[in-house]
Chain A
Amino acid sequence: MSWRWSVLLAAAACTALVVILAKGFGKDPHQVPFMLAGKPAPAFSLQKLDGSGKVTLSELKGHPVVINFWATWCGPCKVEHPVLDWGYRQYGRQAEFLGVVFEDTVENSRAFLKQSPTPFPQLVDPQSQTAVDYGVAGVPETYFIDAQGTIRGKHVGPLSLDALTARIKDLVQPVAQAR
């Protein structure tokens, strides 16, 4: 009798194994969880790259904010550069656009921006402390913060025109309607 039970147990264990493995398909194992969606955006006060002063998040309360983390050594960041430019021109009145340099030197960033300037402020993040504060796990990542200061979500990877438009439209709606 115990023979049968052992076989059943072995069969059950093996079935569980195969099911667990099968469920792993289709998921991206390299995706990093993001927990700050729906939470208040962490405060920061960072110097602008052009040296013209500081930008403090609390001062921007009442306006939606789009924060883009990027770096000069990141190919996809350069690809999304014109998308963000366009986004600013379209929606710059509705939302504040900010760029934050991630793990890069001031010289590199200034050199890059001299060649391809952006119309919105670029900020220096010493030792990427603000990036860690926001749960950044690579570049480019773009965070969308609503007028109340809550993070609606983030876009991992280079933005496309459609994605940016959809996010901003969502951003300017109050929370109740943002379904």
Chain B
Amino acid sequence: MNSTLGYGLILAGLACAGFGAVVGIATGMAGRISGLAWVRRAVVGFFVCMVAANLLMVFALLTHDFSVKYVAHVGSRSTPTVFTVVSLWSALEGSILFWGAILGAYVLAFSVAFRKEQSRYVSLALGMMMAVGVFFAFLIAGPANPWTPMSPVPLDGPGPNPLLQNHILMVVHPPMLYCGYVGMVVPFGIATAALLGGQLGEAWTGSLRRWTLIPWTFLSVGIILGSWWAYAVLGWGGYWAWDPVENASFLPWLTATAFIHSTMVHERRKTLKLWTLSLVLATFLLTILGTFMTRSGIFNSVHSFTQSDIGPTFLSFIAILLVFSIALLSARGHLLIPEGQIQSPLSRESAILVNNLLFVGVTFTVLLGTLFPLVTEAVKGVRISVGEPYFNKMSVPGGLAILFLMGVGPALPWGEADRRLIGKQLLIPLATAAAVLAVCLALGLRGVLPLLTFALGGFVAAINIRELVVPARIRISQHGEAPWTALFRSASRARRRFGGYVVHLGMVVILVAIAASHSYVTRTSGTVRIGSALKVGDYQVKLLGFDEGVEPHRTWRAAKMELVGSGEVLRPRMNFFERSTDPIGTPAVKSTPLGDLYLSLMALSEDGQSATLNAWVFPLVGWIWWSIPILVAGALIAMWPQRQSRRAMAPAIGAAASSSSKLRETA
């Protein structure tokens, strides 16, 4: 019953999406808004069908209805409830179903946000987003169907992958990532609508930016949470392995970040239009490519699923999107001719242009490295690996250059810069950098790359903090406001700017933490008997004994390690799941603001008298996860809508074709 109902909902969703796509695009291209009301209804219908299908699947999982193929595939009576719900997105078919629901939610949100807007552009945008919805609904109905009825009905299932039941982060990381990934459909819809409609109005570039910032925030949080999960769960002491699927999530983040900067130049100078639009289209394409990489089974990855029919279907969609994007950009080339010009190399515009290039360079590097094993296999028939050493080597220079630009960009003004003035303004930041370097050298830290990162971090932080504080200082001196009020008001008056600089500060924290935890890590491994201690860095851990436990879905053994000096007991453990022959370790981590002590249990002796451990001290690694509030705060400030309408803004050209509308930036 669940199967039929679920499948029916998917087919209904496919019908709604198809209807919405056809009507939206057809009427939008013809310049009419007659179909808009129906398109909006189709969007609501798609949303309702998708969400209902997801809820039904969760219901089937919770009631252990093994007559549904997906439940038989990932469900199990012995899995704890929270992980049963999580198994909705833990395997291939369920994750595509989940994708459909989030897609429906985003498109509905866009439709609601622009509910007062009656323009062909909304029609086109919704139509394009529904077209993407058609693809995913088709996938769920066809190659990735989770609803196939099982016969005979099994009594129990194998349960989700044990790795996914080990930690609570698994509950949060995928939804965050999906909200980021899927959300990129909206900017895609807006951009293609503007291009198809033939006009790139200012209001649309504003919406484009805001509707990219929302998924960007989710994506950033999702990626960081993912690396936190890898760190806290997998026990190898790393948080980023340059795994193909990790790279797949990183690529659209890179182009989205580049877009967020490029669009500033687009709005102010009416140039870099081709860059900006290409970056938006590329971001969406990369999300689809990323989904393909995860689900096609042609990549060797921790996340990969087995090969299925889904791969060729996805690849066809990618090919169609590529053809469509190139055709659209070249057909509408006349819209992308710059109206302004970058006046001088020493200006914020050119800094952003260089920034664009660097981001595209890093994106290209990561993409090439991830795909290269496929290239050599196709060309030479030889299998090679492109792993961490390559990516670390190739991304460090680009990363440092981008860090440098994060400081120089805000320091440079729009237009042309006076060299002397810039020189004067950079004095304090350079002094800060030198001071940071001196302190590090005094502390005994060595190594060109980490010291350079720290110095640049100081430089960038100084510039960004000054840019945040100076407007407040002016308000204090001119309006006599109290400091916090002044800060708040100055932020509120210039949200994009303030939020952007806060995000820059968050990124500095991340890059400094990465440099520190990578370059100054201490590692020891050894076998200790009960009563003896292992020394790692400044810590000593003594083996007290062992703990054991049995849970419905796993059994575990832990080593009780006492931290000599503080008496704290850490319990790194090995979890044994039914489905796998190798145990999955859970490391024990002691976090302090200055670094983490990380213990991973590698082996237990048969006589129960000794344990083999890997131990690390990672300086500053916790700062990576603690930057999440900074990034989120900055992004929220930047995207917070202004209450008063922007009278200074020229009326949206995009609305010219339709009836007049007061275009507010409500979205």
Interface residues of A (CB under 8 A from B): 3, 7, 10-11, 14, 17-27, 29-31, 33, 73-75, 105, 107
Cβ–Cβ contact B315 & A21, under 8 A? yes
Closest Cβ neighbor of A71 among chain B residues: B581
User: Smallest CB–CB gap between A144 and chain B, Å?
Assistant: 22
How far does the alpha carbon of A18 sit from the alpha carbon of B298 in the complex, in Å? 13
The residue that B330 contacts in the complex, of A3, A23, A74, with Cβ under 8 A, is A3
What A residues does B383 contact at CB under 8 A? 31, 33
User: Smallest CB–CB gap between A102 and chain B, Å?
Assistant: 12
Cβ–Cβ contact B374 & A21, under 8 A? yes
Chain B residues 285-340 with CB under 8 Å of chain A are: 292, 296-300, 304, 307, 311-312, 315, 318-319, 322-323, 326, 330, 333
How far does the alpha carbon of A11 sit from the alpha carbon of B324 in the complex, in Å? 11
Cβ–Cβ contact B292 & A29, under 8 A? no
What B residues does A75 contact at CB under 8 A? 581
Task: Mark contacts of B337-378 with chain A using CB atoms, 8 A cut-off: 1 yes-contact digit, 0 otherwise.
Answer: 000000000000000000000000000000000010011011
What B residues does A7 contact at CB under 8 A? 326, 330
User: Smallest CB–CB gap between B336 and chain A, Å?
Assistant: 10
Highest count of chain B CB atoms <10 Å: which of A22, A74, A75? A22
Closest Cβ neighbor of B384 among chain A residues: A33
Is residue B606 contacting chain A, with contact meaning CB distance below 8 A? yes
What A residues does B323 contact at CB under 8 A? 14
> Knowing A24-B296, A29-B300 touch, does A18 contact B307 (C-beta < 8 A)?
no
User: Smallest CB–CB gap between A155 and chain B, Å?
Assistant: 19
What A residues does B319 contact at CB under 8 A? 18
> Knowing A14-B326, A105-B606 touch, does A30 contact B300 (C-beta < 8 A)?
yes
The dominant DSSP class at the B interface is helix
What A residues does B298 contact at CB under 8 A? 21, 24-25, 27, 29
> Knowing A3-B333, A25-B307 touch, does A20 contact B322 (C-beta < 8 A)?
no
23 A-B pairs within 8 Å (CB atoms) are namely: A7-B330, A10-B326, A11-B326, A14-B326, A17-B371, A18-B318, A18-B322, A21-B292, A21-B296, A21-B318, A21-B371, A21-B374, A23-B374, A24-B298, A24-B377, A25-B312, A27-B298, A29-B297, A29-B300, A29-B304, A33-B383, A74-B581, A105-B606
> Knowing A29-B300, A33-B383 touch, does A20 contact B378 (C-beta < 8 A)?
yes
Closest Cβ neighbor of A74 among chain B residues: B581
How far does the alpha carbon of A11 sit from the alpha carbon of B329 in the complex, in Å? 12
Cβ–Cβ contact B377 & A27, under 8 A? yes
Q: Please give 5 more A-B residue pairs, beta carbons under 8 A apart, in addition to A3-B330, A74-B581.
A: A11-B326, A14-B322, A18-B318, A29-B299, A33-B383
Closest Cβ neighbor of A11 among chain B residues: B326
Closest Cβ neighbor of B371 among chain A residues: A20
How far does the alpha carbon of A93 sit from the alpha carbon of B322 in the complex, in Å? 62
What A residues does B606 contact at CB under 8 A? 105, 107
What B residues does A25 contact at CB under 8 A? 296, 298, 307, 311-312
Cβ–Cβ contact B378 & A23, under 8 A? yes
How far does the alpha carbon of A31 sit from the alpha carbon of B297 in the complex, in Å? 12
> Knowing A11-B326, A29-B297, A29-B298 touch, does A24 contact B374 (C-beta < 8 A)?
yes
What A residues does B312 contact at CB under 8 A? 22, 25
What B residues does A73 contact at CB under 8 A? 581
Pair count A-B, CB < 8 A: 60
What A residues does B296 contact at CB under 8 A? 21, 24-25
How far does the alpha carbon of A19 sit from the alpha carbon of B51 in the complex, in Å? 36
Interface residues of B (CB under 8 A from A): 292, 296-300, 304, 307, 311-312, 315, 318-319, 322-323, 326, 330, 333, 371, 374-375, 377-378, 382-383, 581, 606
How far does the alpha carbon of A21 sit from the alpha carbon of B314 in the complex, in Å? 11
How far does the alpha carbon of A25 sit from the alpha carbon of B307 in the complex, in Å? 8
What B residues does A74 contact at CB under 8 A? 581
The 5 closest A-B pairs by CB, nearest first: A24-B298, A29-B300, A14-B322, A23-B378, A7-B330
User: Smallest CB–CB gap between A35 and chain B, Å?
Assistant: 11
Highest count of chain A CB atoms <10 Å: which of B318, B371, B374? B374
What B residues does A23 contact at CB under 8 A? 374, 377-378
How far does the alpha carbon of A29 sit from the alpha carbon of B294 in the complex, in Å? 13
How far does the alpha carbon of A29 sit from the alpha carbon of B383 in the complex, in Å? 9
How far does the alpha carbon of A103 sit from the alpha carbon of B298 in the complex, in Å? 29
What B residues does A107 contact at CB under 8 A? 606
How far does the alpha carbon of A4 sit from the alpha carbon of B304 in the complex, in Å? 39
Cβ–Cβ contact A18 & B315, under 8 A? yes
How far does the alpha carbon of A19 sit from the alpha carbon of B378 in the complex, in Å? 9
Closest Cβ neighbor of A18 among chain B residues: B319
How far does the alpha carbon of A173 sit from the alpha carbon of B407 in the complex, in Å? 72
How far does the alpha carbon of A114 sit from the alpha carbon of B267 in the complex, in Å? 79
Closest Cβ neighbor of B318 among chain A residues: A18
What A residues does B382 contact at CB under 8 A? 33
What A residues does B371 contact at CB under 8 A? 17, 20-21
What A residues does B375 contact at CB under 8 A? 20
User: Smallest CB–CB gap between B473 and chain A, Å?
Assistant: 47
User: Smallest CB–CB gap between A177 and chain B, Å?
Assistant: 27
User: Smallest CB–CB gap between B495 and chain A, Å?
Assistant: 36
What B residues does A3 contact at CB under 8 A? 330, 333
Closest Cβ neighbor of B582 among chain A residues: A73
How far does the alpha carbon of A26 sit from the alpha carbon of B371 in the complex, in Å? 16
Closest Cβ neighbor of B314 among chain A residues: A21
Cβ–Cβ contact B326 & A20, under 8 A? no
How far does the alpha carbon of A21 sit from the alpha carbon of B319 in the complex, in Å? 11
How far does the alpha carbon of A24 sit from the alpha carbon of B314 in the complex, in Å? 13
Cβ–Cβ contact A22 & B315, under 8 A? yes
How far does the alpha carbon of A138 sit from the alpha carbon of B300 in the complex, in Å? 16
What B residues does A10 contact at CB under 8 A? 326
User: Smallest CB–CB gap between B406 and chain A, Å?
Assistant: 29
User: Smallest CB–CB gap between B254 and chain A, Å?
Assistant: 17
What B residues does A24 contact at CB under 8 A? 296, 298-299, 374, 377-378
What A residues does B299 contact at CB under 8 A? 24, 29
How far does the alpha carbon of A33 sit from the alpha carbon of B304 in the complex, in Å? 19
Closest Cβ neighbor of B311 among chain A residues: A25
What B residues does A105 contact at CB under 8 A? 606
How far does the alpha carbon of A89 sit from the alpha carbon of B283 in the complex, in Å? 62
What A residues does B292 contact at CB under 8 A? 21
What A residues does B322 contact at CB under 8 A? 14, 17-18
Closest Cβ neighbor of B606 among chain A residues: A105
What B residues does A22 contact at CB under 8 A? 312, 315
Highest count of chain A CB atoms <10 Å: which of B298, B307, B311? B298
User: Smallest CB–CB gap between A23 and chain B, Å?
Assistant: 4
What A residues does B297 contact at CB under 8 A? 29
What A residues does B311 contact at CB under 8 A? 25
